Amino acid sequence: MAETIAPHGGTLINREVTGAQRQSLLEKAEKLPKIRLHDFEVSDLDMLACGALSPLQGFMGKAELEGTLEAMRLPNGSIWSLPIVLARPKDQVGRVGAGDEVALTDADGNVLAVLHVEEQYEHDQDRHAKLAFGTGDEGHPGVARIKGLMGNVGLGGKVSVVNRVKYKDFNEHRLDPAQTRAKFAELGWKTVVAFQTRNPIHRAHEYLTKVALEIVDGLLVHPLVGDTKGDDVPAAVRMECYKVLLENYYPKKSVMLSVFPAAMRYGGPREAIFHALCRKNYGVTHFIVGRDHAGVKDREGKSYYGDYDAQNIFERFKPEELGIQIFKFEHTYFDKRTGGMVSFKTAPANAEAVSVSGTKLREMLQKGEIPPPEVTRPEVAQVLIKAMRAK
């Protein structure tokens, strides 16, 4: 069966090298200057390797960064909303510049790739943060990452990946874009909707994914398992929640679980576009964007983004440019009066919402209490209770 959707930019990029070329680069890397990557950069590199970040072939140069920040466009006009940047303080970069090569390593010093430097440029961390995230507040985890872990010198250029990341978890669910595309074809899915999540799936999420599934051939539950902030539910716990939920409450023939190796940026509307374009590379034709997609709250508990900013931002682009259809969902909850799930769009005027605050939910789980089944499935609650007790 032919692929039903083209990768972003038309070609699925592959920056992994093998055979004699790999061996030559590994030998060369021993003598090259080295840059140790942070966890979020390791995720970026691995996604560059397999084409998840197509059409990017490496870390952005100045023109790519500026186009992304100013207009959410690459120099060739393609939509791109979040920077993929490698930047360090000047004293860590030295005189590395155009025509040079740098070995990129993980935290243990293992060589992962060679960066073929095309340019060294000034990286304005404050400007990057402000334009990418709409704030300079270091309480925002994306801003804190830029100001705390990057630097004022950017290195742009293509990468040649000599060693893919050796993950110790979820390996049976780590499918590259070429693999998900092949799986969709094997299953006979011509239309596929992806659901992005960094949290356990509660009843409202279950409802909207099933509504979306009514319209397409298959559902890809695609949780983000890269770097997240410390108070997010750990990926291992979330994966157990997804598995028990899919086993008991979803049709096996039309649902697939695979992981998304990206680091979370908490970029709200810009990250919603980024998530959609990446899923397009995985062969997905439709993407779910709910209320406050990829949002995050400040120290006072106020969101950095409006409730529907992540949906409204898609109106800036023509559907044919995006190349992936967006399902926009209202806030959804269980209504006592109608006895079912409703949204702001479908709820009667006298709806009675069954809701539990995040604080109350955590208190119940810590005590070993099962929340109302209208909020979360009991099997999911049991996984969370077990995890909290272990912690």
- Say if residue 359's pLDDT is above 50: yes
pLDDT digits (tens, 9 = 90+) for 225-262: 999 998 889 999 999 999 999 999 999 999 999 999 99
Active site residues: 197-199
- Say if residue 361's pLDDT is above 90: no
The residue behind tokens 């939509």 is 79
pLDDT of residue 2: 43
Rounded CA separation 272/107 (Å): 29
Q: What is the DSSP string of 103-143?
A: EEE-TT--EEEEEEEEEEEE--HHHHHHHHHS---TTSHHH
pLDDT of residue 1: 36
pLDDT of residue 77: 97
CATH hierarchy code of domain 171-390: 3.40.50.620
- Say if residue 379's pLDDT is above 80: yes
Mean pLDDT of the 320-325 span? 97
pLDDT digits (tens, 9 = 90+) for 197-224: 999 999 999 999 999 999 999 999 999 9
19-161: CATH topology: Sulfate adenylyltransferase (3.10.400)
pLDDT digits (tens, 9 = 90+) for 263-305: 999 999 999 999 999 999 999 999 999 988 999 999 999 999 9
Say what the pTM is: 0.96
Q: Is 44 left (phi over 0), alpha (psi -120 to 50) or beta?
A: alpha
CB–CB of 192/199 below 8 Å? no
Q: What is the DSSP string of 182-221?
A: HHHHHHT-SSEEEEEESS---HHHHHHHHHHHTTSSEEEE
- Say if residue 65's pLDDT is above 50: yes
For residue 111, count other CB atoms closer than 10 A to its CB. Answer: 18
Mean pLDDT of the 62-72 span? 98
Strand 153-161 to 192-197 pairing: unpaired
- Say if residue 357's pLDDT is above 90: no
pLDDT of residue 282: 98
Domain borders along the chain are: 19-161, 171-390
